Amino acid sequence: MELAVGLYERLIDRDLDAALTAAPHLIPVRERIDPADLPHILARHLGRQISDALQQLPADQRREFANRLLRVVPDDTGGAQLPPQAQLLTQILEEDAQPLRRPATPLSDVALLTNAPADPSLHAELRTEMLSSDRVDLLCAFIKRSGTRLLRDGFEDLRRRGVPLRVLTTTYIGATDRRALDELVREYGAQVKISYNARSTRLHAKAWLFHRGTGFHTGYVGSSNLSRDALLDGLEWNVRISQTATPALMEKFSATFDTYWNDPAFEDYDPDRDGDRLDAELMLASGRGRADGASPRLSGLEVRPYDFQRTMLEELRSERTVHGRHRNLLVAATGTGKTVMAALDYRELSGEARPRPTLLFLAHRREILEQALSTYRDVLGEGAFGELMVDGHQPVFGEHVFASVQSMGRPEQLRRWNPDHFDTVVVDEFHHAEAATYRRILDHLTPRELLGLTATPERTDGVNVAQEHFGGRIASQMRLWDALERDLLVPFHYFGIWDDVDLSRLSFRRGEYETRQLASVLDHHDARARKVINAVRDQVTDPRRMRALGFCVSVEHARFMAQCFRRAGLPAVALSGTSSTSERDDGLAALRAGEITCIFAVDLFNEGLDIPEIDTVLMLRPTQSATIFLQQLGRGLRRAPGKSVLTVLDFVGHQSAQFRFDLKLRAMTGLSRSRLVAGIEQGFPFLPSGSQIILDRVAQQEVLANVRSQLSLSTRELVADIRQHTDQTGAESSLRAYLEGSGRTLADIYGASSRSMRGEQRPACWSALEVWARPDDALPPLSAEYDLLRRIRGLTHVDDPERIRAYRRLLDPALDPRVRAEDPFAPMLYFSFWPQGAPEGMTEALQRLAGSVHVRRELLQLLDVCETETRALPERLNGPLESSPLRSHARYSRDELAAALGLGTRTKGTPGSLVSGVRWFPEARVDLLLVTLRKSEAQFSPSTLYRDYAVDESLFHWESQSSTAAGSPTGLRYRTHEQRGSQVLLCVREATAGDIGTEPFTCLGTVRYREHQGEKPMRILWELDRPMPPELLAHARAVA
């Protein structure tokens, strides 16, 4: 066997293994196959082998060969055996029905259609496919009437037979014909949805999906829009796929289309209601309309938040209802809808109360106030809501006031208002709150709810507004990737460039380099400046036309860089916090006009200045703070005419061993700790559309080494960090104090299963680390406690307040054992430590747990951390499960879920014996469904991804076990659970393993059967009784 050097994806059989052994000069890379992927890989291998064998056999021996193979496949009835005469079923017709026409391409095959003379024409294939379809889905960037006319016969047949036709399209470049859409709706009964986002070019797809009740679905994916040229004679390529040959592709197609269909970005189109709006949007998108008046807001439409905004609003609600905090800060990039979120939050606070609670909205510019007032009116659906107080306007009623800081801040004006007059106060651009006028207003007013909005909580003058006004806590911070996925910001191209500067010996404390030392290295570093200029020339398309912002260490550094750029023919200026207002204004005006290419800034532009024209950001000062990094990045992410991407050049050198690259990389990507290393190695293949992170070879090596060391601290390093933190703060050591002061997470403490130091191995837990860090002060745990301490890492997910209180109560040594035994949470805690049960039984085992000093102390400290960090909004379940200890949207281990439903108490068995993803609890009359979304540990596994997924926040597509038939007792119970009085409980997690061992499940609550397709397995669509949490929805949807 001849072996070539390169990439493979081949199962190693005996022949291949022997060939690899016989080639010692070659180095084969072998990988373990994930069990979730193994069936697909084995089937592919067997298919090739069987196909080759059948080709070589005489025709009269092939059937018997197939039957011999089928005899070894599990089959209760033998029904898969072939009869003597091999035949193919091609149709089943009703009595007296005419035979159906078939597409030229067999239903089970795939094909590439190019409009070549030897290919069947695409329009003829599409028409014929329609004749035998039971549902048709069309996704098309633009639709022309010349195309719909060609397919008229097919559309008319669909209408005559009552076959659903769903169409998704856009106003992209104004190319769609309104008449074509009107005819699809009126003449052919199609359901049409349109994305009106004219500034976004996200949807370029052209695809058809033909569903058949027989299961022989087919689809087309390619370059052809619905136009005459594309369907007949254009140089178009379209791939025909099929359920038989490419099932994984078909499942992804169907899942993705359903997700788009349920996305609020695609709006229902009714020609009578929406025709004028469509005309205006098409004119605007084609460049023939005017942006200032082409798209008037329609009254009566409910303003709905994006998923990421819903996440932030839920986190804000959690701060109030779970933690009792009523001074809160929202952090989100400029242009991502902070004012909309504030208005939606106010709508929720208002509830059904009329009149609405009193409101003060503060901002520093009239334009912001007018826009905010308009936003609140739209969200509330009240055109007369609110009054302005700015530039001489005075409120008449004073109940809902949109005031400028200058107007409200006058002493005589403030005295008009009682401190408690306003129930809710919203402060826009809250980073200005340190200014005297803001301070005067905030000191005077005592609202029930204070909400600050900002893109930049950390000011360049060292003030952190979260620390100063909100106890150091940010209620919710927007995830950058969420806004990028929604196309609210321009994508970024981030280049990590090695600059060969050694900073490893500089003083590094509390996450920062000492500024003077850093300036002494960088202020006049000619070689680094040359590398910066060369990088700009390499990565920026036209440096002389760029509008760049460079963040520097010191005033001298900014001046030096500006001088270097000017010498290189790139006009630039240096500005700082000491620059005069006129200097700043002149510099900004010159940058906007293209008279200069770059502003080098220090103590300026991190916050509070909106410059949409910036298309290049130069990171010339190393920072590990994710907040400051995102603030700097955010200066260039605003959309502007002619701006398609933000170029980010970040210069990487030898850093301090304490410097953490992982913090800003995770802020950019949203990757978990466990997946960040793979992301760096593989070049970050799963970023939001259009964005890239590219590290040069040396920078990648440096970053990778740094991230690996920070994410897998040795026991010695972690112990030293704990000791240093305790010495610096002088505070008593506690898990919560250490995590808050050091920026570490629970994964740093509990990520490993065990730790070793000084020749001694102990469980990975806080108690062991604390003893090693403070050997003279801490009493080591007894070896008998090790098994219990080892189980504590399995409770780091606990996030509902009621369970936290219950576990604390159960750990009280003075609690009456009879009271402990009757507590509904007791089995959950008990089986978390003894999944198979303890020899002495639950009551005595829990008493032993409460009496274990180190275990109780550590678990109580862990519960303090869980309580502080939780953002969950748990609610009781519906129906009979309302009395159970489980809550929707809380997270649970498999053992906790099983114990809560009675396994080990009311039901025979123990939670530790529950290994499958489904379980019927007859005593509780509950079907428990445990779903792992990413079944394979591979980053992308098409064969397993689209079995279980969220269609939208209230619909979940679930695939049963492969043996479940629709008419089986289990299948019937799923379909008729409401009639039978049983319940179905759905719990979901993203992956099997996470940063701290086995991942917990999020309880989505009870679900109701809606419909199903197929059997063995059944594909069931469940309707959730409570909408899915938006953060989990982002992972569970087929499309992000």
Q: Is the pTM of this model over 0.85?
A: no
Beta-bridge partner residues of 994? 997
Task: Of 793, 771, 775, give the one whose Cα is nearest residue 854.
Answer: 771
Q: Please, are residues 535 and 605 in contact by the beta-carbon 8 Å criterion? A: no
The model's pLDDT over 480-501, given as tens digits with 9 standing for 90+, comes to 877 887 778 899 999 999 999 9
What's the pLDDT score for residue 516?
A: 92
CA torsion through residues 48, 50, 53, 54, sign: negative
The model's pLDDT over 220-261, given as tens digits with 9 standing for 90+, comes to 998 887 887 766 666 788 999 999 888 888 988 998 899 889
What's the pLDDT score for residue 913?
A: 87
Cα Rg, the chain, nearest whole Å: 32
Q: Which amino acid is at 312?
A: M
DSSP-derived letter for residue 272 is H
Distance (Å) of CA 132 to CA 168, 192, 321: 21, 21, 55
C-alpha 184/C-alpha 792 separation (Å) is 60
What's the pLDDT score for residue 941?
A: 52
Region 750-758: what's the mean pLDDT? 87
Residues 6+ apart with CB under 8 A from 950: 259, 956, 957, 1028, 1033, 1036, 1037, 1038
The model's pLDDT over 112-169, given as tens digits with 9 standing for 90+, comes to 988 787 888 888 899 999 999 999 999 998 899 988 998 999 999 999 999 999 999 9
Region 956-966: what's the mean pLDDT? 92
Tokens of residue 470, six digits = 């909100």
Element (H, E) at 556: helix 555-567
Element (H, E) at 634: helix 626-634
Q: Is 135 helix (H, G, I), strand (E, B) or coil?
A: strand
Strand stretches in 883-994, DSSP E:
887-888, 891-892, 918-921, 926-934, 949-952, 955-959, 983-991, 993-994
What's the pLDDT score for residue 608?
A: 44
Tokens of residue 834, six digits = 């003894």
What's the pLDDT score for residue 954?
A: 94
Q: Please, are residues 225 and 143 in contact by the beta-carbon 8 Å criterion? A: yes
Task: Of 333, 329, 332, 331, give the one whose Cα is nearest residue 320.
Answer: 329
User: Does residue 298 have a pLDDT over 60?
Assistant: no
Q: How confident is the model at residue 579 (pLDDT cuts 50, 70, 90)?
A: confident
What's the pLDDT score for residue 299?
A: 38
Instruction: Tell how far CA 872 is from the center of its chain.
Output: 17
C-alpha 514/C-alpha 56 separation (Å) is 76
Element (H, E) at 678: helix 673-682
User: Does residue 504 have a pLDDT over 50?
Assistant: yes
What's the pLDDT score for residue 1040?
A: 46
Tokens of residue 40, six digits = 């697909």
User: Does residue 852 have a pLDDT over 50?
Assistant: yes
- What percentage of the chain reaches a pLDDT higher than 70? 93
C-alpha 277/C-alpha 280 separation (Å) is 5
Beta-bridge partner residues of 218? 210, 242
Q: Is 386 helix (H, G, I), strand (E, B) or coil?
A: coil
Q: Is 483 helix (H, G, I), strand (E, B) or coil?
A: helix
Strand stretches in 655-720, DSSP E:
692-695
Task: Of 803, 796, 798, give the one whose Cα is nearest residue 749.
Answer: 796
C-alpha 360/C-alpha 465 separation (Å) is 20
Task: Of 743, 784, 787, give the one whose Cα is nearest residue 765.
Answer: 787
Q: Is 168 helix (H, G, I), strand (E, B) or coil?
A: strand
Residues 6+ apart with CB under 8 A from 279: 178
Region 441-462: what's the mean pLDDT? 84
C-alpha 454/C-alpha 514 separation (Å) is 27
What's the pLDDT score for residue 529?
A: 96
CA torsion through residues 21, 26, 32, 34, sign: negative
Region 181-206: what's the mean pLDDT? 84
SS3 content of the chain, % helix, strand, coil (to 5): 40, 20, 40
Give the sheet arrangement for strand 238-242, strand by strand: 111-113, 238-242, 218-222, 206-211, 135-140, 165-170, 191-195, 266-268
In sequence order, which ranges of 238-337 are alpha helices (DSSP H)? 247-261, 271-286, 307-321
What burial letters (b/e) apply to 865-876, b meaning 16+ CB within 10 Å? bbbeebbbbbee
Q: Is 711 exposed, middle or buried (0-12, 13-18, 19+ CB in 10 A)?
A: middle
Determine how many CB atoms are found less than 10 A away from the CB of residue 504: 13
The model's pLDDT over 300-350, given as tens digits with 9 standing for 90+, comes to 456 788 878 888 999 999 999 999 999 999 988 877 889 999 999 999 999
Region 933-945: what's the mean pLDDT? 63
Residues 6+ apart with CB under 8 A from 1035: 933, 990
What burial letters (b/e) apply to 54-89, b meaning 16+ CB within 10 Å? eeeeeeeebbeebeeeeeeeeeeeeeeeeeeeeeee
What burial letters (b/e) apply to 95-109, b meaning 16+ CB within 10 Å? eeeeeeeebebbbee
- Dihedral angle of Cα 1025, 1030, 1034, 1039, to the nearest 10 degrees: 60
Please provide the DSSP assignment of 87-106 as one string.
--------TTPPPPP--SS-
Residue with tokens 């009551």: 843
Angle, in degrees to the nearest 10, between helices 152-161 and 122-131: 10
Phi, psi of 842 (to 5 degrees): -65, -45
C-alpha 559/C-alpha 567 separation (Å) is 12
Q: Which amino acid is at 706?
A: N
What's the pLDDT score for residue 17?
A: 86
Residues 6+ apart with CB under 8 A from 1025: 878, 888, 1005, 1006, 1007, 1008
Bridge-based pairing of strands 238-242 and 111-113 is antiparallel
Q: Which domains does the chain have, with CATH numbers?
A: 111-286 (3.30.870.10), 307-478 (3.40.50.300), 491-638+646-699 (3.40.50.300), 717-780 (no CATH), 782-871 (no CATH), 916-1036 (2.30.280)
Q: Which amino acid is at 1005?
A: G
C-alpha 422/C-alpha 400 separation (Å) is 8
Q: Please, are residues 838 and 815 in contact by the beta-carbon 8 Å criterion? A: no
Phi, psi of 404 (to 5 degrees): -80, 150
User: Does residue 898 have a pLDDT over 50?
Assistant: yes
Q: How confident is the model at residue 777 (pLDDT cuts 50, 70, 90)?
A: low
Q: Which amino acid is at 720?
A: A
Task: Of 423, 401, 349, 405, give the one whose Cα is nearest residue 379.
Answer: 349
Task: Of 369, 313, 374, give the one whose Cα is nearest residue 344.
Answer: 313
Residues 6+ apart with CB under 8 A from 234: 115, 224
Task: Of 125, 126, 146, give the one whose Cα is nearest residue 138.
Answer: 126
Q: Please, are residues 768 and 781 in contact by the beta-carbon 8 Å criterion? A: yes
